[in-house]
Structure 1
């Protein structure tokens, strides 16, 4: 049975373009793969805690020697890592916030980037351990950042592709919903273009 992990992170909730398109896309992927399941992690309504001293100490402390708080925060991370490994396809959505990703999505990345679990170091350098996954990034922005003079300000897409690749996830497709802040007509066109792209991607999955 195939599993789709849907990660949403926009603070705009149900009004978010990235959340709406990503959620519909996950359903399209599910329809294209009969019997598949969707596991949703809504980081806006259920944010993961920012990593702190208990986390950074706890992940390097044997289970039996952890304090109760260390065990609690590491368990949160363990669950996120387990969800990641269980998924065949991963849909990650975020709004473009101050030229980068949402802080809630960054916290999720901090929890899944685990030495010895999702990546390792060896004689040949770092090795990503989360392999065999298809990842789709759904990124909404008020302006146009895929090309043109503002493209240098896109720190979301390169970062996500870099960190996912570091963890072993190199098969990444990007769906942009851009220009939504440039008037109703541009907004409608951006959404329609993204929906058309996700339909094609679902058929190709």
Structure 2
């Protein structure tokens, strides 16, 4: 099994999203037989897409203009990111709610995948090929506010719906979501469903 493990929270290993992604990955490969590719997008953030890089990803670059080393390296990295995603049997992704949206480091990662999927010649079948072979996506969502607040529940619902739409474009029709929350005292609430989802 190939597992792509992605963390995005900037607050370190004490956070619920990081603890949960680690628990899921550990449950999937107790004997160490799985191949795990790990990316900590908070510790090693991707640059946001520039105009020149966007032209390259969309195959609109004028071949008469030499690519500088920086753009060439970023284009190569983007292809590596797509390959990691496509080759994974299971993607375990942390997606905390930051300031009413996803972390910017996660947005930068998604932008790379989406622009490659939208490149000239890439049709719906090409985008959906990222899910070839029954790829499974488990998204760990979390927030800092108490889970019982109705407004917080609505924001988390919208957060997960947005991510589901994004990943449907990449060929994953039914991403699974595991919501991590805190109680009124700020204590982390780890769902009882974690062992089931990890299996």
Q: TM-score range by the shorter chain?
A: 0.7 to 0.9
Of 61-70 and 95-104, the range deviating more from structure 2: 61-70
Assess if the C-alpha contact under 8 Å between 1:6 and 1:41 holds in 2.
Answer: yes
Alignment RMSD: 2.7
Task: Provide the aligned length of Structure 1 versus Structure 2.
Answer: 191
For 1:107, the equivalent position in structure 2 comes to 108
Using structure 1 for the length normalisation, give the TM-score.
Answer: 0.81
CA–CA distance in 2 between the matches of 1:127 and 1:112? 9
| Partner of residue 175 from structure 2, selected from 158, 172, 175 | 172
SS at match of 1:39: strand
SS at match of 1:130: helix
Deviations 1:66-106 (A, max 9, x none): 50232111111111111101100000002211122111011
Assess if the C-alpha contact under 8 Å between 1:19 and 1:94 holds in 2.
Answer: no
Runs ≥4 residues deviating over 6 A: 62-65
Q: Offset of 1:202 from its aligned partner?
A: 2.4
For 2:153, the equivalent position in structure 1 comes to 151
CA–CA distance in 1 between the matches of 2:122 and 2:147? 33
For 2:84, the equivalent position in structure 1 comes to 83
Assess if the C-alpha contact under 8 Å between 1:120 and 1:127 holds in 2.
Answer: yes
Using structure 2 for the length normalisation, give the TM-score.
Answer: 0.84
| Partner of residue 162 from structure 1, selected from 165, 169, 173 | 165
- 1:56 maps to 2:50: no
Q: Offset of 1:20 from its aligned partner?
A: 1.3
- 1:17 maps to 2:16: yes
- 1:93 maps to 2:94: yes
- 1:67 maps to 2:67: yes
For 1:135, the equivalent position in structure 2 comes to 137
| Partner of residue 198 from structure 2, selected from 183, 189, 202 | 202
Assess if the C-alpha contact under 8 Å between 2:56 and 2:75 holds in 1.
Answer: yes
